[in-house]
Copies of this chain bind each other. A is one copy, B any other.
Amino acid sequence: MNLGRPREFNTAQALEAAMQQFWRAGYEATSLQDLLDVMNLSKSSLYQTYGSKHELFLRSIDFYQQVSANDLQQSLDSSLTSKAFMNGLLEDVISEATSKKKKGCLLVNTVNELSHRDKAVSKAVLNGIDNVAGVIKQAIKRGKKEGAIKSTVSTDTLVNYIVSNVSGLRTMVKSGVDKAELTPLVNMIMKTVY
């Protein structure tokens, strides 16, 4: 087995670099040349390994989604309370306001850029959102069990409420609203749930 010349690059590492590029610039604005530069490989290697720009994008979304959901799950598992977890989540989102980058969330960005006219992309994004929302649902359930959640609203609606606000906050951060303005907003969101 394992015939032929071995690959000179790490496929996971290259995929991560591609993902970062798509995250930074979006799909349309990322040229193949941009990808080759950041992934540090030749055109033929890219096409042989990933098929096309489009397929590479789909894999990038999946990669992002797995990492995100995983990080979130770990954060929840190591949080003392549901409330602490949720506060951390929202703080993380608005902490991006002080950084220079402001990449937002790849899933949210993608929905807004081309989810509506690309079936495969739409599916990948939906799947990613589901996974992330799954962790948030656990957090809400835990909060109810802990008696920390005052709201009588259904778990699913609370999950959507968090998703809506995280997505909204991300857009506001990206549009340049500064952290000082966002902090009281995060406090308010927390108070409406816990």
- Kindly name the residue among A129, A189, A192 whose own CB sees the greatest number of chain B CB atoms within 10 A: A192
Contact with B along A163-194 (1 / 0, CB 8 A): 11111110110111100011011001100100
Interface residue tally for chain A (C-beta within 8 Å):
48
Please give me the residue from chain B that is nearest to A172 by CB atom.
Answer: B164
Task: Chain B residues near A120: list those with CB within 8 A.
Answer: none
Copies of this chain assembled into the complex: 2
Contacts of A103 in B (CB 8 A): 116
Q: Judge if A80 is at the interface, Cβ distance under 8 Å.
A: no
Chain A, residues 99-129, CB within 8 Å of chain B (1/0): the string is 0001110001101111111000010011001
Interface pair A117/B25, CB less than 8 Å apart: yes
Known: A164-B168, A168-B167. A116 touches B174 (CB 8 A): yes
**Contact residue among B129, B157, B166, B171 (Cβ-Cβ distance under 8 Å from A112):** B171
Q: What are the residues of chain B within 8 A of A122 when measuring CB–CB? A: 175-176
| A128–chain B nearest beta-carbon distance, Å | 10
The answer on a CB contact under 8 Å between A167 and B172 is yes
Q: Establish whether residues A156 and B181, one from each chain, have CB atoms under 8 Å apart when the complex forms.
A: yes
